[in-house]
Amino acid sequence: MNLQLLIIAIVVIAVLLYLYNSIIIAKLRVSESLSHIDVQLKRRADLIPNLVEAVKGYAKHEKELFEKVTKERANLVSAKSMEEKAKVNNQLTETFKSIFAVAEAYPALRASENFQKLQEEVSDTENKIAYARQFYNSNVLNYNTKLRVFPNVLFAKLLNFKQAEFFGATEAEKKEVKISF
Amino acid sequence: MNIYSAISANKNKTWVIMLLFVLVITTMVFVFSKALGYSGYGFAGIALILAGLTSIGSYYYSDKLVLATTNAKQIKKEDFPNYYRTVENLCIASGLPMPKVYIMEEVSPNAFATGRDPKHAVVCATTGLLNMLNDAELEGVIGHELSHIKNYDIRVMGIVAILVGFVAILSDLFIRASFYSDSRDNKGNTIFLILAIVFAILSPIAAILIQTAISRKREYLADASGVLLTRYPEALATALEKLAKDKTAPKNASNATAHLFIENPFDNRKVKNFFTSLFNTHPPLEDRIRILRSM
């Protein structure tokens, strides 16, 4: 009788350990993939001074824009929470668009090899952020699912596991696309 | 079959293939040396050691051999920025470490991945492929290749390319030699004939081995998990369509490496002989395209 109890206890503990470890692994994957996003965000932040420098030579009077982008860069670097990062990152995307729109007015700038390279880098970084976000969000989905399914849900709360946040889409992205003819 | 069971199945298959190779070679050598009147154990022992070394060597160096036989060259980001970036991006999307990026100077569009695990992986595309596809389509193809890396398909495929391909090439060779050699009756010729017969038997077995190890399902699985990265099945479908239309024959593929490519390099050959159909390792492109379109 005692032996049976012992076996049952061992099996239960083994299963619990397995479940616990699988949650921990999923959680580690989430934080690891978040660091992938951070790498790309940093890369993007590093591009900004160069871009400003390149455009400044041609469009001195666009001071406001330069100040804005520099400020947003500082915000991006100092952003701690993911929500903040996502928000500043989306603002930056918009600001980049206006910088490139300004550049449209200066054919000499557009033609410069340096600027073209920067433009390429910027769009490449944007793609990479998007992919990093995709990877992160799929890991979050996996982790959150692990927390919610039975029997994990029974002890996940007890052990203070919290749902991870998705790296947010912009408000614009969430809106339905309206096409008018 | 999901990706996790695919990974462990692939790791197990690698061991089975390596063991089988050692067993087959050792037994063969033993039987031959017996038949030729030697005691057999000495030769079998040497064969055991050599086959074991080959096996272990092919585990570690199959990628290098494959790259050498296909004439692939490693590239830097500056050489083909678009191609390199596509690989980078999809690695980020899949969480894989960055593989080495190679190129094959060839008009025929094709691509393959090789290596022994994601940390020692290689992605290779032909210049024809890069010229033919647009960005989204290239992304689809690279996504497919990265899935092969992630699923550990590359490990099995690399081993198969070297070990089973080795047997296949030998049998091909001996069969041809026995057809063309004149039949003067001397001892060398008899040995040759026996070898030919044995390899003629072995060759289909090798082919069947390739077939089972390579199970065509993996192509569908790689298509599906590749699309999970790009989220755009249509691009891979049109890419495969373009590959299907292309009729240029590849210079640098052989029966031993055919299964590595995204599309069977011998599919378009005019002469379809017995052996190429035996080694047909790919599901029909039409099926893959149809499945992609229904996603």
CB contact under 8 A, B92 and A124: no
Q: What is d(CA B138, CA A21) in angstroms, rounded to the nearest whole number?
A: 38
A19 lies in some domain: yes
DSSP B159-222: HIIIIIHHHHHHHHHHHHHHHHS-----HHHHHHHHHHHHHHHHHHHHHHHHHHHH-THHHHHH
What local confidence, expressed as pLDDT, does residue B270 receive?
40
CB contact under 8 A, A33 and B85: no
What local confidence, expressed as pLDDT, does residue B90 receive?
92
A181 lies in some domain: no
| Total CB pairs under 8 A between chain A and B | 27
Residue carrying structure tokens 């709360």:
A157
Closest approach of A131 to chain B, Cα-based (Å): 5
Please identify among residues 29-68 of chain A the ones whose CB lies closer than 8 Å to any CB of chain B.
29, 32-33, 36, 40
The token duo for B39 is 């005691």
Which pTM value belongs to this model?
0.78
Domain ranges of chain B: 1-295
E strand segments, B40-183:
73-74, 100-104, 111-115, 121-126
Q: Helix, strand, coil % (nearest 5) of chain B? A: 70, 5, 25
Which residues from B are below 8 Å from A40, CB to CB?
92
> Number of structural domains, chain A?
1
Q: What secondary structure letter does DSSP report for B279?
A: T
Look up the ipTM and state it.
0.73
**Nearest chain A alpha carbon to B95:** A135
Cβ–Cβ < 8 Å for B190, B253: no
Using a CB–CB cut-off of 8 Å, the residues of B that contact A are 81, 85, 88-90, 92-95, 229, 231
Helix boundaries (H) for chain A: 2-56, 63-78, 82-104, 107-111, 113-148, 152-156, 171-174
Q: Give the residue among A113, A133, A121, A45 at the shortest CA–CA distance from B85.
A: A121
Q: Say whether pLDDT at B154 is over 70.
A: yes
CB contact under 8 A, B89 and A135: no
Cβ–Cβ < 8 Å for A92, A72: yes
Indicate which of B92, B94, B96, B98 best probes the interface with A, i.e. most A CBs within 10 Å of its own CB.
Answer: B92
Q: Cα angle at B110 between B107 and B113, to 5 degrees?
A: 135
A179 lies in some domain: no
> Is the Cβ of A132 closer than 8 Å to some Cβ of chain B?
yes
Q: How confident is the model at residue B272 (pLDDT cuts 50, 70, 90)?
A: very low
Closest Cβ opposite residue B92 in set A29, A32, A36: A36
> What is the domain-level CATH number for residue A70?
1.20.1440.20
- The strand pairing partners of B114, in sequence order, are B122
> Is the Cβ of A134 closer than 8 Å to some Cβ of chain B?
yes
Q: What is d(CA B5, CA A163) in angstroms, rounded to the nearest whole number?
A: 27
A127 lies in some domain: yes
Q: What is d(CA A86, CA A167) in angstroms, rounded to the nearest whole number?
A: 6
Which residues from A are below 8 Å from B89, CB to CB?
127-128, 131
Which residues from A are below 8 Å from B81, CB to CB?
120
Q: Could you read off the pLDDT of B212-227 as tens digits, one per residue?
A: 666 667 888 888 888 8
Q: Cα angle at B267 between B261 and B272, to 5 degrees?
A: 135
What local confidence, expressed as pLDDT, does residue B85 receive?
92
What is the residue range of A47's domain?
2-174
Q: B205: burial class by Cβ within 10 Å (0-12, 13-18, 19+)? A: middle
Q: Considering chain B, what is the average pLDDT of its residues?
A: 78
> Is the Cβ of A135 closer than 8 Å to some Cβ of chain B?
yes
Residue-by-residue pLDDT tens, chain A, 181 positions:
688 899 999 999 999 899 889 889 999 988 888 888 888 888 888 888 888 888 877 777 777 788 888 888 888 888 888 788 888 888 888 888 888 888 888 888 878 888 888 888 888 888 888 889 888 988 888 888 888 888 888 888 888 888 888 887 655 555 555 555 5
Name the strand (E) or helix (H) holding B54. helix B41-69
> Is the Cβ of A100 closer than 8 Å to some Cβ of chain B?
no
> Per mean pLDDT, which of A38-42, A51-55, B101-105, B195-199 is the most reliable?
B101-105
A94 lies in some domain: yes
Q: How confident is the model at residue B211 (pLDDT cuts 50, 70, 90)?
A: low
A168 lies in some domain: yes
Q: What is d(CA A171, CA A163) in angstroms, rounded to the nearest whole number?
A: 22
Q: Say whether pLDDT at B186 is over 60.
A: no
Contacts of B265 (CB under 8 A, 6+ apart): B108, B110, B249, B250, B253, B258
